[in-house]
Chains A and B, each alone.
Chain A
């Protein structure tokens, strides 16, 4: 129960940054990314300017900080006093510049104290874990529950007017938040491949921490340091304002605000330069930290390997021969569907002009490796794509009606009644805050328009339907009390609550134990027979396909590679990719023989080649495969294959 996880230092700094051995290259690219951020440049430049101004105050300030100019007291901004003057005619600009000499060393003290404490303790706690980690956890928890100011006040009572003592105390009191963050960064680094490799190679723990963990942590620490500096500055001036670290009349920023407050009736302008400068500096530290954080995320995202950029852009998609199907008799027709993920600068295509149909009462398998686009396709049909993705092309017809153009409330009414969804993770697909009865009942009431009492009997009927033995008992249980198989039965019951005509099952058995998998498959088959609904079954498992499906669509890198009746497909695949997948299926393994695998990996979204997307891994690839986009060819019957060598390969007896 890590309830404090949003730390007060910076509540949204949680991205996991994976370390790489080659940190010098990464840091350089970090700087490069920063240079392209105008806001970061402005903030950094401004901070540098203010700090230099403080250091060289004696040179740049137009007046000494305490030079009186009584005739021009409270003058407001003028040529003589650019930022005005106070009640004794002292120049505000000069006093602000000199005031920086007190503030910045204090901020530095606070930040350094926090870093010196937090970095080693956080790394050690994360790296070694165990009792030390728990002890550190307990102490940081305790420190986080003390109001910072009260202990700083105690310190100031003990060391009156001592800024150093106050800022060191501040550093100590904010270090727990930073310790947590550093520890959190260390944990994944500890498990990283290159660290394991170093450990196996006999590199000592201390060397690993210094050489491999520290560089990965340091980036986060710089970001956090920036936020802590913002906090330290706020603290520093607040203490000065209260008169606890400065006396009235001193050229100290907090005191200057205080005296501006006292002169509110006579010259309100005085509030502007003082508070404005403090606000701007805190803002600059915060925004600089934000920019650093974004930059380090981008530097890392840009790090892995050469990515062929242009080829993936939506405009340059390979042209596919979408054969327009006749949607009249079909339950579902997907026509030329393209889905793209939007990143900062460009759209990355994840599904590339896919067309297929699902007939009434038919079970269609959508098969492919992870990253092929099969889940995205199914979510696009349900209009439940993640926020970063959207449909960029194509139509979806349901019962002969184009549902792509429906507005959201209209589409809401289709869900549950027309489509149902069973998703992969039964554990996380039920609302953890409500009982089974409560969430299932809500859907039943929605679809059947019945009251609470009547909905109970329908709930029990649904749970009976999915073969749950003691449904009454289950109604009062929470999702976390259910086993995986049980939870999946409940989510199937929820999907069936609206009596859908099409059930979309997105890898519904992948996360389950083998025996439970078979039970759920048997249940789905049974339910399909009973209800005559259609099923779109998304899976990477050919065994499941053979078991359940009538027809199969094989996806690869966002394209349909083959489509066939299930018997034909298993009998004689018409695409080298399908053939490879079938051979690699563990259920076809021969005793004593290594399982033939497809070498290489599916190209990731954004790095699809313009030619055959499988060519790189295909043992039969020829020059023509690399020449350009490959069309989806119609073969005999309803079969389709995206392979221009299909005839050759058939003649050669390979397919």
Chain B
């Protein structure tokens, strides 16, 4: 078990290098000059040269990447070109929102999705069609549009929930919950369908397998067959999809945080992109990649824990 985790971890390191390098060299293609952006309109040539020197723009690319890595080792991701704040501090400050959003959405859509999936695997027919419809609509309707429609209904007309903004759970717990309801609903719209469909197809596949037949022939009742044996085996592929959902939610937050003006990492990514704030973008790439790796690691651990063939090998 520990060996699996260790090996996974070692495989992940090159991935971090590849992704950061990719983003680093892509950024070098940027036509805009970060030094000029930093100084704004009015600056002298000497100030410009000093800024270039300070940002290390006069050194060869590989050296700069090396420096970036070295600084990274010291916990330094550089400073934002836009407001000179340290990137790490910006990322830290904005993580809470994004994680609240993603974790709550993952939890919520997993519970509803798995429930719907199991129910539609057992009942098929009508319920299966509902699940298909939910996942089809979840995929087809653009999430920013769904967000606006929900705002129109629940904020503008019914005045039940805030249209935008985020309230820290420390400030007001009910405020926090209210500020998350709509964003979570928007992000869950597509996640629930995907999880429900995967749950249904895995459950159907497992329910069709010979060992279920053996156990049923042995006399086990529906409850044990479905919830103990079938779900346990189907969970192996459900957990994979939940992991993929988590990763895709990182992309989803970019939209949700923009629509609902939540001060999170996704909104930051959009701002940084339109401001060409490269250190922040690079910091985000690294940060998101590390999150993905950690999530995949957790998925692998649960996967191995559920699957004795891997756990014991």
Q: Which residues of A contact B (CB under 8 A)?
A: 1, 3-6, 8, 11-12, 142, 145-151, 153-160, 230, 234, 237-238, 241-244, 254, 257-258, 260-261, 264-265, 268, 271, 274-275, 278-280, 282-283, 286-287, 379, 382, 384, 386-387, 408-409, 412-413, 415-417, 419-421, 423-425, 428-434, 439, 442-443, 446-447, 478-481, 491, 494-495, 497-498, 504
User: In the bound complex, do residue A443 and residue B218 qualify as a contact, i.e. CB atoms below 8 Å apart?
Assistant: yes
Known interface pairs A265-B156, A443-B218. Does A432 touch B233 (Cβ–Cβ under 8 Å)?
yes
Q: Which of A11, A230, A257, A417 contacts B194 (CB 8 A)?
A: A11
Known interface pairs A12-B197, A148-B251, A257-B148. Does A384 touch B216 (Cβ–Cβ under 8 Å)?
yes
User: In the bound complex, do residue A157 and residue B278 qualify as a contact, i.e. CB atoms below 8 Å apart?
Assistant: yes
Q: Within 8 Å CB of A478, what residues of B?
A: 308-309, 312
B59: Cβ under 8 A from any A Cβ: no
Cα(A643)–Cα(B142), bound, Å: 67
CB distance from A290 to the nearest CB of B (A): 9
Known interface pairs A234-B142, A257-B144, A271-B149. Does A155 touch B233 (Cβ–Cβ under 8 Å)?
no
Cα(A283)–Cα(B135), bound, Å: 11
Stretch in contact with the other chain, from B41-49, B167-175, B241-249: B241-249
The proximity string for B residues 124-161 relative to A, scoring 1 for CB distances below 8 Å and 0 otherwise, is 00000000000011011111111011011000100000
Q: Within 8 Å CB of B100, what residues of A?
A: none
Q: Which of A242, A412, A504 contacts B219 (CB 8 A)?
A: A412
CB-CB nearest in chain B for A244? B273
Q: Within 8 Å CB of B308, what residues of A?
A: 432-433, 478, 480
Which B residues between 243 and 302 are near A, CB-CB below 8 angstroms?
Answer: 244, 247-248, 250-251, 254-255, 258-259, 269-270, 272-274, 276-278, 281, 284-285, 288-289, 292-293, 296, 299-300
User: In the bound complex, do residue B220 and residue A443 qualify as a contact, i.e. CB atoms below 8 Å apart?
Assistant: yes
B61: Cβ under 8 A from any A Cβ: no
Q: Which of B211, B254, B255 contacts A432 (CB 8 A)?
A: B211
Cα(A167)–Cα(B221), bound, Å: 52
User: In the bound complex, do residue B219 and residue A430 qualify as a contact, i.e. CB atoms below 8 Å apart?
Assistant: no
User: In the bound complex, do residue B269 and residue A416 qualify as a contact, i.e. CB atoms below 8 Å apart?
Assistant: no
Interface size range of chain B in the complex:
35 or more
Q: Which of A6, A149, A430 contacts B198 (CB 8 A)?
A: A6
B26: Cβ under 8 A from any A Cβ: yes
User: In the bound complex, do residue A157 and residue B218 qualify as a contact, i.e. CB atoms below 8 Å apart?
Assistant: no
User: 30 A-B Cβ contacts within 8 A?
Assistant: A1-B303, A3-B240, A4-B240, A6-B241, A12-B197, A146-B292, A147-B247, A150-B269, A150-B285, A150-B288, A153-B270, A154-B285, A157-B273, A160-B32, A242-B254, A254-B142, A254-B144, A257-B148, A278-B145, A283-B140, A286-B139, A412-B220, A415-B216, A416-B217, A416-B219, A430-B211, A430-B214, A433-B232, A442-B224, A443-B220
Cα(A213)–Cα(B288), bound, Å: 38
Q: Within 8 Å CB of B247, what residues of A?
A: 145, 147
B3: Cβ under 8 A from any A Cβ: no
User: In the bound complex, do residue A241 and residue B144 qualify as a contact, i.e. CB atoms below 8 Å apart?
Assistant: yes
Known interface pairs A6-B198, A238-B255, A481-B312. Does A415 touch B273 (Cβ–Cβ under 8 Å)?
no
Known interface pairs A157-B30, A264-B156, A494-B214. Does A142 touch B15 (Cβ–Cβ under 8 Å)?
yes
User: In the bound complex, do residue A415 and residue B144 qualify as a contact, i.e. CB atoms below 8 Å apart?
Assistant: no
Q: Which of A238, A275, A424, A443 contacts B149 (CB 8 A)?
A: A275
Cα(A5)–Cα(B32), bound, Å: 41
User: In the bound complex, do residue B156 and residue A428 qualify as a contact, i.e. CB atoms below 8 Å apart?
Assistant: no
10 A-B pairs besides A283-B137, A286-B136, A442-B224 with CB distance below 8 A are A150-B285, A282-B142, A412-B222, A421-B217, A429-B213, A430-B211, A431-B212, A446-B220, A446-B221, A494-B215
Which B residues between 199 and 218 are near A, CB-CB below 8 angstroms?
Answer: 201, 208-218
B10: Cβ under 8 A from any A Cβ: no
Q: Within 8 Å CB of B258, what residues of A?
A: 242
User: In the bound complex, do residue A158 and residue B220 qualify as a contact, i.e. CB atoms below 8 Å apart?
Assistant: no
Cα(A409)–Cα(B285), bound, Å: 55
User: In the bound complex, do residue B221 and residue A412 qualify as a contact, i.e. CB atoms below 8 Å apart?
Assistant: yes
Q: Which 5 A-B pairs have the closest CB atoms?
A: A416-B219, A421-B217, A275-B145, A149-B251, A283-B140
B29: Cβ under 8 A from any A Cβ: yes
CB distance from A256 to the nearest CB of B (A): 10
Known interface pairs A286-B139, A447-B219. Does A157 touch B281 (Cβ–Cβ under 8 Å)?
yes
CB distance from A14 to the nearest CB of B (A): 9
CB distance from B157 to the nearest CB of A (A): 8
Cα(A156)–Cα(B26), bound, Å: 10
User: In the bound complex, do residue A154 and residue B292 qualify as a contact, i.e. CB atoms below 8 Å apart?
Assistant: no
Known interface pairs A241-B142, A243-B274. Does A415 touch B210 (Cβ–Cβ under 8 Å)?
no
Cα(A334)–Cα(B143), bound, Å: 57
User: In the bound complex, do residue B219 and residue A498 qualify as a contact, i.e. CB atoms below 8 Å apart?
Assistant: yes
Question: Which residue of B217, B232, B293 has the most chain A CB atoms within 10 A of its CB atom?
Answer: B217
CB distance from A4 to the nearest CB of B (A): 7
Q: Which of A147, A286, A287 contacts B251 (CB 8 A)?
A: A147
CB distance from A224 to the nearest CB of B (A): 15
Q: Within 8 Å CB of B151, what residues of A?
A: 261, 264
User: In the bound complex, do residue A154 and residue B219 qualify as a contact, i.e. CB atoms below 8 Å apart?
Assistant: no
CB distance from B291 to the nearest CB of A (A): 8
Known interface pairs A264-B151, A278-B145, A420-B218. Does A244 touch B310 (Cβ–Cβ under 8 Å)?
no
User: In the bound complex, do residue B218 and residue A230 qualify as a contact, i.e. CB atoms below 8 Å apart?
Assistant: no
Cα(A387)–Cα(B213), bound, Å: 12
User: In the bound complex, do residue A415 and residue B217 qualify as a contact, i.e. CB atoms below 8 Å apart?
Assistant: yes
B237: Cβ under 8 A from any A Cβ: yes
Cα(A280)–Cα(B288), bound, Å: 32
User: In the bound complex, do residue A415 and residue B218 qualify as a contact, i.e. CB atoms below 8 Å apart?
Assistant: yes
Cα(A317)–Cα(B97), bound, Å: 67
CB distance from A169 to the nearest CB of B (A): 9
Q: Within 8 Å CB of A479, what residues of B?
A: 211
Q: Within 8 Å CB of A156, what residues of B?
A: 273
B177: Cβ under 8 A from any A Cβ: no
User: In the bound complex, do residue B211 and residue A282 qualify as a contact, i.e. CB atoms below 8 Å apart?
Assistant: no
CB distance from B266 to the nearest CB of A (A): 8
Q: Which of A147, A157, A423 contacts B250 (CB 8 A)?
A: A147
User: In the bound complex, do residue A145 and residue B213 qualify as a contact, i.e. CB atoms below 8 Å apart?
Assistant: no
Q: Which of B30, B140, B211 contacts A428 (CB 8 A)?
A: B211
Known interface pairs A147-B288, A412-B222, A432-B309. Does A423 touch B15 (Cβ–Cβ under 8 Å)?
no
Q: Within 8 Å CB of A387, what residues of B?
A: 208
CB-CB nearest in chain B for A386? B208
